[in-house]
Amino acid sequence: MAIQVRIPTILRSYTGGEKSVEGSGSTLDELFADLDGRYDGLRGRLVDDSGLRRFVNVYLNDEDVRFLGGLAAPVTDGDTVTVLPAVAGGAY
């Protein structure tokens, strides 16, 4: 088993059009580094010098990783990571 990572449309140019890719690592940071080895440039769209980019949301099993330690959030095999553009929604 690996960690499944869902990629939004606008970043699929980095994954050869794949909607979902697999990676490994014990933290989100390690997972992104692992992915960058195969999908060059992907990490740079998600992370900058200060951590996760402001207008990128990353979810670990649907939970926003900013509340789980950010790039230090622990991940394990079987987890699902979802990358999304930041956006508001809801029945206003």
Residue 92 near other proteins by CB under 8 A: yes
The residues near 55 (Cβ < 8 Å, ≥ 6 apart) are 85, 86
Separation of alpha carbons 5 and 83, rounded Å: 7
Separation of alpha carbons 77 and 26, rounded Å: 9
Beta carbon of residue 61, minimum distance to other proteins (angstroms, whole number): 7
Identify which of residues 50 and 55 has a Cβ nearer to other proteins in the complex.
Answer: 55
Residue 59 near other proteins by CB under 8 A: yes
Q: Quick one: which segment of 21-29, 31-39, 77-85 binds other proteins (CB under 8 A)?
A: 77-85
> What is the b/e burial string over 54-81, where b = at least 16 CB atoms within 10 angstroms of the residue's CB?
eebbbbbeeeebeebebbebebeeebeb
Beta carbon of residue 8, minimum distance to other proteins (angstroms, whole number): 7
Interface pick for other proteins out of 18, 48, 63, 77 (rule CB under 8 A)? 63
Residues that bind other proteins in the complex, under the rule CB under 8 A: 8-10, 45, 53-57, 59, 61-64, 66-68, 82, 84-92
